[in-house]
Amino acid sequence: MNSATHYDAIVIGAGPAGLTAGIYLSRSRFKTLILGEGTVGGQLVLTHEIANYPGVEATSGYQLANTMKKQARAFGCEIHGNVKISRMEPDQEIKSVTLANGVTYTAHALVLAPGGRPRTLNVAGEEQFKGMGISYCATCDGDFFTGKEIVVVGGGNSALEEAVSLTKYASGVTVIHQFDQFQAHPYAVEEAVKHPRIRFRMESTIEAFRGKERLEEVLIRDLKSGTTYAEKTEGAFVFIGYIPNTEFLEDRIRLNSSGEIMVNLQMETSLEGVFAAGDCVAKNTGR
């Protein structure tokens, strides 16, 4: 083993779960490396406002993620973001992770925290208009829709909270949700419902996105009547949950039918010395 590239623990994923693992490991004097294939902070940096994090006044996701990163580094944690992992060997006594640049890191333990990515609708026109009117991040793209009519798809906390934040830019926001009630917390529902520039299409789904060079309209199906109709829009934001980034673990570690990592109460996976945390972990289940 090369002492320069060998660690007590390697954390895969640099979102909140990965950074938290890094903080606790490095503070406990374990030599720790965090490897993230995206921006350090993960999906957190895309969140417009966080107002319910205990002990922290309302702040942006970017600011909170930056604080976490500083904390981890202050305790001695090494962090590399925007790297590409080409190979990983989690089932050996000494675990190894090889990057696309050829560098291989080894460790006695792995913590898997790869997080997730936005779930898509998988309807006609979605691929065509991604980045051309369709977005999955209000913080990233909200200002591109200043003064425009847009739609938001979803009925959870993210959908309603981001619908409210998008009113800072858009002239009007239409929320499209497939059920007759929201799955969001009451405070999020109340804030969205009372907003004068937010409208609702309940028990409805989008069947297609249409346009020429950019998105121009959505085809909506009313689930109660079965009728479809077109509605003009210049932007669509989709917030219908996340898919765990665990494809690289298939056939190597125990996953559930949704692709989430199965763990026990100690966050141990089916492989010895491999742990998991965050959005990639199966909830309310045993090992």
pLDDT of residue 165: 94
Same domain membership, residue 53 and residue 94:
yes
Instruction: Give the pLDDT of residue 24.
Output: 97
Show the DSSP H helices in 28-181 as ranges.
61-74, 126-129, 138-141, 157-166
44, 65, 24, 101 alpha-carbon torsion, rounded to 10°: 80
Range of the structural domain that residue 165 is part of: 120-238
Could you tell me the two tokens for 95?
């675990």
State the pLDDT at residue 284. Answer: 66
pTM value?
A: 0.81
Instruction: Tell me whether residue 136 is in a domain.
Output: yes
Residue 267 lies in a domain: yes
Q: Are residues 233 and 166 in the same domain?
A: yes
CATH code at position 51: 3.50.50.60
**Domain presence at residue 1:** no
24 and 91 inside one domain = yes
One digit per residue, the tens of pLDDT, for the chain of length 287 reads: 677 799 999 999 999 999 999 999 999 999 999 999 999 999 888 777 787 788 988 888 899 999 999 999 999 999 999 999 999 999 999 999 999 999 999 999 999 999 998 999 999 999 999 999 999 988 889 999 999 999 999 999 999 999 999 999 999 999 999 999 999 999 999 999 999 999 999 999 999 999 999 999 999 999 999 999 999 999 999 999 989 999 999 889 999 999 999 999 999 999 999 999 999 999 864 43
Flag whether 285 is in a domain. Answer: no
Is residue 287 in a domain? no
Helices (H) and strands (E) in the chain, counts: 6, 17
**Cα dihedral sign for 254, 255, 260, 266?**
negative
Task: Verify that 112 and 27 share a domain, yes or no.
Answer: yes
- How many domains in the chain? 2
Alpha-carbon distance of 232 to 149, in angstroms, equals: 8
